[in-house]
Every structure is written in structure tokens, then in C-alpha cells.
Structure 1
Amino acid sequence: MDRFLYLAMSGAKETAYGQAINNHNLANATTHGFRQALGDAYTVPDRGPVYDSRDYVQVRDEVIDFSHGALQSTGRDLDLAIEGEGFLAVQAPDGGEAYTRAGNLHIDTTGILRTDRGLPVLGDGGGPIAIPPNESLLIGTDGTITIRPLGSNPNALAAVDRIRLVNPDLATLKRSEDGLIRAENGQAPPADANVRVITGMLETSNVNTVAALTRMIELSRHFETQIKMMETANNVEKTHNRLLANS
């Protein structure tokens, strides 16, 4: 019965892990630019001296679904969405470079361009973008930031910087514990001049809430089934011990 119990336990453990991934996706269903994670479970045979006696459940590393979300119009000058493939480069809390598709930006009190999470947006030079006081601001399709300086003539425009836009191989990217996407090898990819942005728009999460809710119910039922199997194994073991004691 210990084998039966262990099989049920391994299934319950990995089902709970899949539920955690699904719940994380649901929690970020309204997070701009979020990419849902996918959990992949598979069976591993326990090889005996003659034949494979039983299978255990295992899960592979979490995989990111990089399919695009829908675009929402905001009309705000500092909102932007990536058109097609690509990412915005931002400075992570540890000082390294990370990537996001969340383009709801703002300028802090010191003039630094930041994401909604407060992360500095990186420019072509690799450092945070500083925006001088201005009358108006425009972000071009290539990420170039142009301003009309404070107190200047209407036609006195100045290019401040260009947002660092990259398009790395998706297979080389991973999501860290802080939720940011990074290059798996730690090497920053070069800027890609072909990446384009659309201002006044934001990209939604690619989480399908209906599918995620349905998946949550399925996983809950699977987990309950595994728990019932564990209870059955325990009851059978108790009966077996009782019969041995009375024999």
C-alpha cells in the first residue's frame, strides 16, 4: 500500500503546483503586458529489474506563453504598446537589465522615465532615460523621445533619447522570481531597430480568464481525487494490519 500511497501523493503534489501556476496567471489577468505561464506534467516509469512497475508524476520547468495580448486605446502620451515582437528594456531592482511589454510609463519627480512598477526605462546608451522639463512630449514609433523644452518656441523640438527596444530569441528568456523577464544566459541582447511601438495604447495580459477559471476547477477536482486515493490507501492499510493482528 505504500506504493499506492506514494503514487497518489506525487499526483497531488504536482497538481497543487499546477494550481499555483494557474492562480498566478489569474492574479495577473489585468496586468498590462503580462505573459501567462504554462505547467507541463508527464509520467516517469519506475524501472524494475524485469519491467516498469509503475509511473510517477513529474513536471517540467515553467514555460512562458509569449502570445500577444489585445491592444487597448488610452490616448495617453506616455502609454505605449509593442507592435508585434519585441520588449522594452528596463533596469531591474538588482541593477541588471530586464524586459517587459508593459508600456504604462510615467515620469517621476526627478525626471526619470519609469514603468508602472517604478522600474527605470533604459535608453540606447544602456542607462535610465532622464526627461528634462518640457511643454510637450512625443514618443516615435522607433522609441525616440522628442520634447519641446519648457518656455521654448512651438517649433523648437529636441530629441532626448531613444527607448532601448530588443527582440531576443524567446527560447533564451526566462521569468525570475521578481516577475521580470531576463536573458537566461545573462547576456543583454542588442537593440533591434525593427521593433516598433504604438503610443496611446496598452497591451493587455494574454491570460484567458474563462479558460483559467475552468482549469482551476479541473485541477481542484484532480487534487480531491488524489486525496481520496490517499485516504483509501490508508484505510486499506489499516484493514490489512487489523487482519494480520487477528490471524
Structure 2
Amino acid sequence: MLRSMYAGISGMKNFQTKLDVIGNNIANVNTSGYKKGRVTFQDMMSQTTTNAQGATGTRGGINAVQVGLGSQLGSIDNIHTQGFLQTTNNPLDLAIEGDGMFVLDGGNGNRYYTRAGNLYLDNAGNIVNSNGYYLLNTAGGKINIPSTAESFNIETNGAVNYIIGTTTTPAGTIGLASFSNPAGLLKEGNNLYSSTNNAGLGATLIPPESTGVGSLVSGSLEMSNVDLAEEFTEMITAQRGFQANTRIITTSDEILQELVNLKR
């Protein structure tokens, strides 16, 4: 069979994966804290028909002659650029301006990390995310606001204070985590990430405005960093790439048909 046919098949598979990633980006264009994905390709191993040869006293050098065998998936990267901030005026909506991630207690010793700052108070007054995971303070504990509190505020440095009468009482300081390679985090769904050996977990449960993490903006949410114009452009490119690879298969099939017809 023709090598071009298998090259076309590999290209179709890769562009289908690219379309899958683009579709997921577009589906999450309004997801708080979502970080877009990006697909890269690599060429597959090439078949060498003639090796390279160096120059001799009577003949110059020649290059290798190789035929490529298609493409393969190189990586699916998570792009952790800053998303724009949307003002909500809800004091429990928090956005991180800069690097860093919120740290959540998922139970059973599991810790998760997120940029989605849509937080809530449970019936016991603890600050939790939409899954009920506790937001951790710099000491690794819960942040609790008693039901008797008349109001509370969250400062840019992560300090949480509540007011009862004329008394202001600290409830703790929100702890953030920093990563040298946030693209190495593992997506767990529900806007959550877990750490991996390649994420480069640095300091954890440190207050905002420390080295390596940003500051908090209360009353705002960080939205997705998906750019629809860019995604639609990539979608058109992927669609045309897929169509071009199907044409390779069609042309290869026509050549094989001609070969079969030689016996007639």
C-alpha cells in the first residue's frame, strides 16, 4: 500500500484531536478560571532510503534521502495566561491578579488547586467552593465566619475579617500555592487541578502579595482566557487540514485503482 495513504490517516487523526480541543475551549468560553488548551504536532519517524555521505577526495558529500511517514500528536498544552476580570460585587467572588492558585481541601488528605474563585458559605459558616471543598488558610485550616457576624471583608493580601457590633475579628488569611510550571498540573474537572511531579509545586499556603503569587480582588471573578476569534481561526485551519488529508487518501486510492486496472 502507498505510504501517502497512511500519512493521510495520521494527519486526519491529529486534526480530529485538534478539533476536539478547540471544541472544548469554545464550550468553556464562559467558565470561570478555565485555561485554554493548545495542540502541537510532530513528524513521525522517516524512512531512510539513502544515508548521508561525507565528502571524499574525488566526490562531494551528499545528503540523506528520507521519506516521511506522517505526523503524530506532540502535546496538548494548558495555557495559563491571565483571564479578564468580571466585576460581580459579590464579596465571596475572588479573583487572583497574577500567579498563584487557591488551595482546597478535597477530603481524605487530597488537595486541589483552582483559579475559579466563586466561593460560598456553608451552613456552618465555612468558606467552600461549589463542590463543598474547604478553602484553606495559611495554617492549612478552614476559614470560618460565624452566623452572628454582621458583615465581613476580604482584603487584597488575603486577610478575612468579620464584624460583630463594633469589633473586627480576623478569621484567617487565605493561602495560595505557586507553581513553577502550572502547565504541568493535571485537570480533574470541576475547575480543579491536582499537582504532578512536573508541575513544580513551590511554596504553598502562602498569603497573597507574597513572592510568586498575585493579589486578591474581592467582588470579581477571573473568566476564561479563551479568545473566540483565535479559536474560530484555528478551527478553520484544522478543518482545512483535515480536508487536505482526506484528499491525500482519495488521490492514493485513485492511484491504486489505476494499478488494479492494469490487468484489464
TM-score normalized with structure 1 length: 0.87
Give the number of equivalent residue pairs. Answer: 241
| 60 and 96 in structure 1: CA distance in 2 versus 1, 3 angstrom threshold | farther
Cα distance, 1:215 vs structure 2 = 1.2
2:178–2:202 contact (8 Å) kept in structure 1: no
| 227 and 92 in structure 1: CA distance in 2 versus 1, 3 angstrom threshold | farther
Q: Counterpart of 1:10? A: 10
CA distance in 2, matches of 1:77, 1:26: 28
2:136–2:174 contact (8 Å) kept in structure 1: yes
Q: Counterpart of 1:26? A: 26
AA aligned opposite 2:47:
R
Question: Deviations along 1:116-160, whole A, 9 cap, x unmatched?
Answer: 454332222324434321221211212122112xxx42x222222
1:197 aligns with 2:213: no
Q: Counterpart of 1:147? A: 162
CA distance in 2, matches of 1:77, 1:177: 27
2:243 to 188, 204, 224: 224
1:181 aligns with 2:196: no
2:80–2:182 contact (8 Å) kept in structure 1: no
Cα distance, 1:14 vs structure 2 = 0.5
Cα distance, 1:93 vs structure 2 = 7.2
Q: Counterpart of 1:170? A: 181
CA distance in 2, matches of 1:203, 1:60: 29
Cα distance, 1:182 vs structure 2 = 2.7
Tell me the percent identity: 27
Q: Counterpart of 2:87? A: 73
Question: Deviations along 1:17-39, whole A, 9 cap, x unmatched?
Answer: 11111111111111111111111
Q: Counterpart of 1:157? A: 168
Cα distance, 1:233 vs structure 2 = 1.9
Structure 1 segments of 4 or more deviating over 6 A? none
1:138–1:145 contact (8 Å) kept in structure 2: yes
| 147 and 230 in structure 1: CA distance in 2 versus 1, 3 angstrom threshold | same
1:8 partner SS: helix
Of 51-60 and 175-184, deviating more is: 175-184
CA distance in 1, matches of 2:174, 2:227: 30
AA aligned opposite 1:123:
N
Q: Counterpart of 1:104? A: 118
Cα distance, 1:242 vs structure 2 = 2.8
1:173–1:182 contact (8 Å) kept in structure 2: no
Of 126-135 and 64-73, deviating more is: 126-135
AA aligned opposite 1:164:
G
Cα distance, 1:115 vs structure 2 = 2.2
Of 120-129 and 193-202, deviating more is: 120-129
| 127 and 198 in structure 1: CA distance in 2 versus 1, 3 angstrom threshold | same
Larger radius of gyration: 2
AA aligned opposite 2:87:
S
| 231 and 131 in structure 1: CA distance in 2 versus 1, 3 angstrom threshold | farther
Give the gaps of 5 or more residues in structure 2: 51-64
Give the CA RMSD over aligned residues.
2.3
Q: Counterpart of 2:57? A: none
Give the gaps of 5 or more residues in structure 1: none
AA aligned opposite 2:151:
S
Cα distance, 1:228 vs structure 2 = 2.5
AA aligned opposite 2:239:
S
Q: Counterpart of 1:115? A: 129
1:240 aligns with 2:259: yes
AA aligned opposite 1:24:
N
CA distance in 1, matches of 2:108, 2:13: 32
Cα distance, 1:57 vs structure 2 = 0.7
AA aligned opposite 1:83:
E
1:61 partner SS: strand
Q: Counterpart of 2:60? A: none
